[in-house]
Amino acid sequence: MNLAPHTVADAVLAHWGHDPHALVQVLRETQAHTHWLSRPLLTHIAQALHLPLAHVEGVATFYRFFHTHPVGHTRVLFSDHITDRMLGSEALLHRLCQRLGVAPGQPDARGRFSVDRTSCTGLCDQGPALLVNHHQVVTRLDATRVDALADLMLAEVPVSDWPADWFKVVNRVHRADALLSGVAADAPSLPSVLAREPQALIDEVARAGLRGRGGAGFSTAFKWQACHDAAGPLRCVVCNADEGEPGTFKDRALLSDHADAVFDGMTIAARAIGAQQGWLYLRGEYRYLLPHLQATLERRRADGLLGRNVAGVMGGLDGSSGFDFDIGIHLGAGAYVCGEESALIESLEGKRGMPRIRPPYPVESGYLGRPTVVNNVETFCAVAHIARRGADWWASLGTASSTGTSIHSVSGDCERPGLYEYPLGTPISRILADCGAHQPQAVQVSGPSGTCVPASDFGRRIAFDDVPSAGGFTVLNRTRDLFEVARHFARFFAHESCGLCTPCRVGTHLVVRRLDKLAHERGAGRGSAFDLERLRELNTLLHSGAHCGLGASACNPLRDTLAHFGQAYAQRTGAAQFEPEFNLDAELSVARRATGRNDPGAHLHTEPLP
């Protein structure tokens, strides 16, 4: 039955208790039924939540998965990571558009469907992939599957009746170590871990030398201690499952196959810092994991591992009351920047996901102003193991400054894409050999914001003091054009910039424009040494002037490919003289029309004036 949009919104609002902090969830769940969010609908939601319409509209227009204009009832988004493209995603997208008679991004005349692109969906090991209605994913696309998809869409067959096999997401673990092997059956139980004193738990994590697996490599115990010591009665633990870094899918695997370990880690963190509230911030692209995660939380509540008086532990801050802790799930809505921890907190609070000015840091003032610990999925999983097997065991894995193991999401030009877990300190060459890499010329470690490692450096090791990684490992063979890889990543950053600060908002687009000028399709040889100089300046500007890590790392692919694959740029910068990337005289035609002039003096002269 088709309910009126306002009726749908009212039911969703009631489910979320008319909590303005749940705005992102309210919009998401309402749109799941209404397909898009009209102005009257946003006005209705704003009134119901006692929020200004401008705020609600600002949120609705910030996230890519919200639509404030009509879209097709069945919305298909092709994952647009380089590995999807390497596997032919662009040709498949155009094939589907042709079969459906639509242009990318445009719904058909009857509003039945639309086809577009989206940033990496975290399925690089089984791409090309696409997302349907921001809910299900279809993996392993090929021409046959796309044709069958077109037939179903044209016949308006509901997504629930599409072949179940299409939605299958497989986690192929090729090398398991401490984390991917799971918690041993005879390991100490969670209640026995929680019975320890909070400070003892923090000290154990400190002695293990655990550093965060989300990218920055910050000491986990240091963060917990700061939060533990911060003032205020209420605290919060947040698991960052935004996993938006293109080419990374290890958190997906942990959440689907080791969710209990992740929730154990969050509960241990809560006990250590004295938190009552936990959030799992799940990227919108992983919506299909929600039922499994919710069922796991329900089971844990039934087992007394969440809720009031968890595991019978005395855990109030004064030590005299029970330890009360529960975890909610917040779904993102397609914004890479929300992986940045302060932007993530803004999103959790129902706002646009824009990074906060720091200090104060989340450990002092995070979710709703409460001291908050934000850790990555893998970090929490590691905590679950360390708390059971001890700091010495963890510290015995890896190296002195990079303890433990880390999980790599391997994809690209290799025979066995999937998940590989190694002790930190493992050489890149070992991972390449294990995954069956084909004539690799480079590996993109840790996604576009990480490092592009050339073949001459394959002896380097994955470790915080050598090549740090947040899990991405994309193999690029000798046929790949590293300039085009860098250009693709530049477009990604320009697209994902939240626009808060000028160096990033403008600078990322200037990088794209200049790389477009150099690209073959826009005329080989139009670039000159001057263009490379400007690109280097933009790299410096973004690195030093951007407010958050997105802008600061946006030029990393450019920096690395310029340094190691200069010939890819040299062949595009053959012009002896600088040529502007646009025709300035043509740009002035509007001014000439407005002033009624077209005489020689109103034109720019390419020849020197006499």
Ligand X SMILES: Cc1cc2nc3c(=O)[nH]c(=O)nc-3n(C[C@H](O)[C@H](O)[C@H](O)COP(=O)(O)O)c2cc1C
Give the start-end residues of each E strand in 433-471: 440-445, 451-454, 461-462
Binding mask 548-577 for ligand SF4 (x = CB under 6 A): x-xx--------------------------
Whichever of 139 and 240 has its CB closer to ligand X, that residue is: 240
Please state, in angstroms and rounded to a whole number, the distance separating the CA atoms of residues 281 and 369: 17
Q: What ranges in 462-528 are assigned the alpha helix state H? A: 482-496, 502-518
Please name the residue that has the structure tokens 């590691």: 382
3-state class (DSSP) for residue 454: strand
Distances from the Cα of 324 to the Cα of 2, 281, 313, 317, angstroms: 41, 20, 9, 11
Residue 356 engages ligand X in binding (rule: CB under 6 A): no
Please state, in angstroms and rounded to a whole number, the distance separating the CA atoms of residues 493 and 511: 10
User: Is 220:207 a contact under the CB 8 Å cutoff?
Assistant: no
Please state, in angstroms and rounded to a whole number, the distance separating the CA atoms of residues 509 and 530: 18
Residues 342-371 that bind ligand SF4 (CB under 6 A): 355
Which residue in the set 273, 348, 453, 501 belongs to the binding site for ligand SF4 (CB under 6 A)? 501
Give the start-end residues of each E strand in 111-217: 113-118, 130-132, 136-138, 173-175
Residue 80 engages ligand X in binding (rule: CB under 6 A): no
User: Is 533:582 a contact under the CB 8 Å cutoff?
Assistant: no
Binding mask 527-546 for ligand SF4 (x = CB under 6 A): -------------------x
Please state, in angstroms and rounded to a whole number, the distance separating the CA atoms of residues 404 and 462: 12
Please state, in angstroms and rounded to a whole number, the distance separating the CA atoms of residues 319 and 315: 5
Residue nearest to ligand SF4 as judged by C-beta position: 551
User: Shortest distance, CB of residue 343 to ligand SF4, whole angstroms?
Assistant: 8
- Candidate ranges 72-80, 139-147, 238-246, 460-468; the one touching ligand X (CB under 6 A): 238-246
User: Shortest distance, CB of residue 361 to ligand X, whole angstroms?
Assistant: 11
Residue 547 engages ligand SF4 in binding (rule: CB under 6 A): yes
User: Shortest distance, CB of residue 89 to ligand SF4, whole angstroms?
Assistant: 26
Q: Which residues are registered as beta bridge partners of 78?
A: 117, 130
User: Shortest distance, CB of residue 607 to ligand SF4, whole angstroms?
Assistant: 42
DSSP per-residue letters across 364-383: TS-GGGS-EEEEEHHHHHHH
Which residue in the set 183, 383, 550, 558 belongs to the binding site for ligand X (CB under 6 A)? 550
Residue 218 binds which one of ligand X, ligand SF4, none, with CB within 5 to 8 A depending on kind?
ligand X
3-state class (DSSP) for residue 89: helix
- Candidate ranges 115-123, 226-234, 242-250, 601-609; the one touching ligand X (CB under 6 A): 242-250
Residues 362-381 that bind ligand X (CB under 6 A): 374-376, 379
- Candidate ranges 32-40, 73-81, 371-379, 547-555; the one touching ligand SF4 (CB under 6 A): 547-555
Residues 198-217 that bind ligand X (CB under 6 A): 212-216
User: Shortest distance, CB of residue 551 to ligand SF4, whole angstroms?
Assistant: 3
Residues 490-549 that bind ligand X (CB under 6 A): 548-549
Nearest to 409 by CA among 424, 398, 394, 421: 421
Which residue in the set 42, 467, 498, 541 belongs to the binding site for ligand SF4 (CB under 6 A)? 498
The identity of residue 146, as a single letter, is V
**Residue 468: is the preceding peptide bond cis (ω within 30°)?**
no
Residue 546 binds which one of ligand X, ligand SF4, none, with CB within 5 to 8 A depending on kind?
ligand SF4
Whichever of 5 and 334 has its CB closer to ligand X, that residue is: 334
- What's the chain's Rg over C-alpha atoms? 25
User: Is 163:145 a contact under the CB 8 Å cutoff?
Assistant: no
Residue 381 binds which one of ligand X, ligand SF4, none, with CB within 5 to 8 A depending on kind?
none
Residue 204 binds which one of ligand X, ligand SF4, none, with CB within 5 to 8 A depending on kind?
none
Please state, in angstroms and rounded to a whole number, the distance separating the CA atoms of residues 233 and 412: 48
Contact residues toward ligand SF4 (CB under 6 A) are 337, 355, 497-501, 504-505, 546-548, 550-551
* Contacting residues toward ligand X, per CB under 6 A: 212-216, 218, 240, 242-245, 336-337, 339-341, 374-376, 379, 548-550
